[in-house]
Structure 1
Amino acid sequence: MDAPRVSIIILNWNGWKDTIECLESLYRIDYPNYDVIVVDNGSHDDSIQKIKEYAKGKIEVNSKFFKYNPNNKPIKVFEVNENEAKRGKFNRPLYEKFDVDRRMILIKNKKNYGFTGGNNIGMKFALSVLNPDYVLLLNNDTVVEKDFLKKLVKVAESDEKIGIVGPKIYYYDYNGKSNVIDFAGAYLILWRCGEKRHCFRKVDKGQCDKILEVDKVEGSCMLIKSEITTNVGLFDEKFFAYWEETDLCVRAKKEGYKLVYVPKAKIWHKIASSSGGVLSVFYVYHMTRNRFWFLIKNFPQLLKMHLLYVVLWELWLKFGVFVVYHKKPKMFFVYLKGLLDGLSLKS
Structure 2
Amino acid sequence: MKKIGIILLNYNGLADTLDCLQSLAKIKQTGFSTSIFVVDYSKDVKESEQIKKQFYQIKLIRKESNLGFAKGNNVGIAEALKWGADYVLLLNSDTIVSSDFLQKLFIYLKKNHQVGAVSPKIYFAKGFEFHKEKYAKSDLGKVIWYAGGQIDWANMLAFHRGVDEVDHGQFDKILETDFISGCCSLIRKEVLEQVGDLNEKLFLYFEDTDWSQRVKKAGWKLKYYPKAHIWHKNAGGSGVGSSLQDYFITRNRLWFGFVYAPWRTKFALCKQSLLQLVKSNYWTKQGVKDFYLGNMKQGSWKGK
TM value normalised by structure 2: 0.87
1:131 counterpart residue number: 84
**Distance in 2 separating the partners of 1:338 and 1:240:** 13
Percent of aligned positions with the same letter in both sequences?
A: 38
Structure-1 separation of matches of 2:270 and 2:246: 18
In structure 2, the residue matched to 1:15 is: 13
Go from structure 1 to structure 2 and tell me whether the alpha carbon gap of 1:31 and 1:189 turns closer, same or farther (over 3 Å shift).
Answer: same
| Offset at residue 193 of structure 1 (A) | 1.8
In the alignment, the residues of structure 1 paired with residue 273 and residue 247 of structure 2 have an alpha-carbon distance, to the nearest angstrom, of: 15
| Aligned counterparts of 1:6 and 1:179: Cα–Cα separation in 2 | 28
The residue type paired with residue 18 of structure 2 is I
Q: Deviations over 1:5-46 (max 9, x none)?
A: 210000111111100000000010012411111111253352
Could you tell me which of 241, 245, 253 is aligned with 2:204?
Answer: 241
**Does residue 159 of the first structure (1) align with residue 112 of the second (2)?**
yes
Counterpart in the other structure of 1:257: 220
1:199 aligned residue:
162
Give the letter for the 1:278 counterpart: V
Structure-2 residue corresponding to 1:298: 260
**Quick one: which of 99, 120, 126 aligns to 2:74?**
120
Q: Deviations over 1:222-278 (max 9, x none)?
A: 111111111100011111111111010000000011000010111111112112x12
SS of the residue aligned with 2:69?
A: helix
The answer to whether residue 249 in structure 2 is matched with residue 287 in structure 1 is: yes
Between the aligned partners of 2:37 and 2:187, the Cα distance in structure 1 is 15
Give 2:65's aligned amino acid: K
Higher relative contact order (CA 8 A, sep 6+): 2
1:294 and 1:41 map into 2 onto residues whose CA distance is 27
Match of 1:95 in 2: none
The structural deviation recorded for 1:53 is: 3.0
Gap runs ≥5 in structure 2: 297-304
Inter-partner Cα distance in structure 1 for 2:235 and 2:119: 18
Structure 2 counterpart of 1:216, from 179, 187, 195: 179
Calculate the aligned-residue CA RMSD, in Å. 2.1
- From the CA coordinates, give the structure whose radius of gyration is larger: 1
- Unaligned segments of structure 1, at least 5 residues: 56-76, 78-102, 320-330
CA contact (8 A) 1:193 1:291 kept: yes
The 8 Å contact of residues 119 and 184 in structure 2, kept in 1 or not, is answered as yes
CA distance in 1, matches of 2:41, 2:146: 26
1:269 maps to: 232
Shift of 1:307: 3.1
Amino acid at match of 1:344: L
Aligned AA (1:143): I
Aligned-residue offset at 1:207 = 0.5
Residue 38 of structure 1 aligns with which residue? 38
Candidates 285, 293, 298, aligned match of 1:336: 285
Inter-CA distance 340–191: structure 2 relative to 1 (3 Å threshold): farther
Q: Count how many residue pairs are aligned between Structure 1 and Structure 2.
A: 283
Q: Give the one of 52, 72, 94 matched to 1:141.
A: 94
> How far 1:191 sits from its partner (Å)?
2.7
Counterparts of 1:30 and 1:341, CA distance in 2? 45
